[in-house]
Amino acid sequence: MTHHCAALFISAPSSGSGKTCITAAIARSHARRGRRVRVFKTGPDFLDPSILERASGRPVYQLDLFMGGFAHCQALLADAARDADLILVEGVMGLFDGNPSSADLAAAFGLPVACVIDASAMAQTFAALATGLQRFRPELRHCGVIANRIGSAAHGRMLSEGLPDDLPLIAALPREPRLILPERHLGLVQALEQPGLDAQLDAWADAWEAGLRPGLAFKPLPFEPGAEPSLRPLLGGRRIAIARDAAFAFIYPANVDLLRALGAELVFFSPLRHEALPGCDAVWLPGGYPELHAEALGAHPTLAAALASHVGAGKPFLAECGGMLALLDELTDAAGEPHRMAGLMPGRAHVQHRLAALGLQAIDWPEGPLRGHSYHYSTLETPLMPIATASNPNGGKTAEALYQQGSLRASYVHHYFPSNPEAVAAFFGS
């Protein structure tokens, strides 16, 4: 059944233009008026979605034509359209950057595009940049443009000069230091680590409403149901323990949904709060920031022994990126301080100040091919030989190894489970 819902795709000419702030501002503005808002993030990302989830009050899913494919993205949008009043999709990088790009996604689903442009250092050139973005791919439907970080009302008026009638200035927001989000090496600081975030989101919403020009109308769009295959309960009766806290927060909601759809019972625990490993048939240690919490993790009284016992019993154990780092013999943080880790996987890692790897990844598990991405600032030294090596669909140099030691499987790759449900079920059900 086709569902109709208003929708807007928020993009920009480049990263750093303020897409997340604007998307969050629109979401909070509508949500606090009682509207049901569903927000999506283009491509692999864990940090922006944590902010957008707080702004909208609902989980934020990824839309990625490589990791999930068209039918999967279509199903996610149709499911959201069934009960939402407004769908917002935040792009990634610049509108045409990457492959697949934000433009590819917007075009695939006919989503109206509004580009956020940092106008802090321009005046009439704003219109030239906006119209260039509009005309570069004529099949895209641009509904207007958003000016961010303006200096004054007069500045805002100058920015609108030269814009064509079919590309109006939707809103102009001021440059205010109090609206800037804190960042660290992987991007924005997680929502759960920002005690003042809700007040800041309300301030963004206030700025959006104050800067909104008359004329923006959200037109309902049709969202067709996706043609995804039905899932069998291949993990029925299986209990999977998942670490989830500030040290292990990089979890795709779609991964959790898939495990449940496969019939698994999920139980979450916090290593940071020194919670014990729950009784389970399998463990998933996702990525996050173990380097920021190494002392607390190292002081856990039972976790290392419990995980070792789990592996000793031959039970499946998946560790991704930061989850893998937490299992090593040693992890040296960015300040050069070494920390003893769980010692389940031989090797050492060093967190550095420059990016070590970034890119989409395709990797062949023994159970079948999966897709995902890699993004980290650490380097790893281990005597283990990879059982597989990922490839980057865009030819980038990032090609992560997949390690196996007994029932432990570890990699820097953040796997997107819906890319191969049967392979995921075969691993966790083994």
Other Cβ atoms less than 10 A from the Cβ of 411: the count is 28
Buried b (16+ CB within 10 A) or exposed e, 244-278: bbbbbbbbbebbbbbbebbbbebebbebbeeeebe
Burial class (CB in 10 A: 0-12, 13-18, 19+), 142: buried
Q: Where are the beta strands (DSSP E) in 208-337?
A: 220-223, 239-243, 265-269, 282-285, 317-320, 330-332
CA dist., res. 375 & res. 356, Å (int): 8
Known catalytic membership, residue 321: yes
Q: Please say whether the dihedral angle defined by the alpha carbons of residues 209, 212, 217 and 219, taken in this order, is positive or negative.
A: negative
380 bridge partner residues:
349
CA dist., res. 301 & res. 322, Å (int): 20
What is the token pair recorded at 296?
Answer: 């607390």
CA dist., res. 10 & res. 183, Å (int): 21
Q: Largest Cα–Cα distance of the chain, in whole Å? A: 69
Q: Decide: 238 and 263 in contact? Cβ < 8 Å.
A: yes
Catalytic residue among 5, 73, 143, 321: 321
Question: Which of 301, 304, 318 has the alpha carbon at shortest distance from 259?
Answer: 318
Cα separations in angstroms, 26 against 162, 207, 398, 419: 26, 10, 35, 31
Q: Who contacts 318 (Cβ-Cβ below 8 Å, separation ≥6)?
A: 282, 283, 284, 285, 409, 410, 415, 427, 428
Q: Catalytic residue numbers?
A: 321
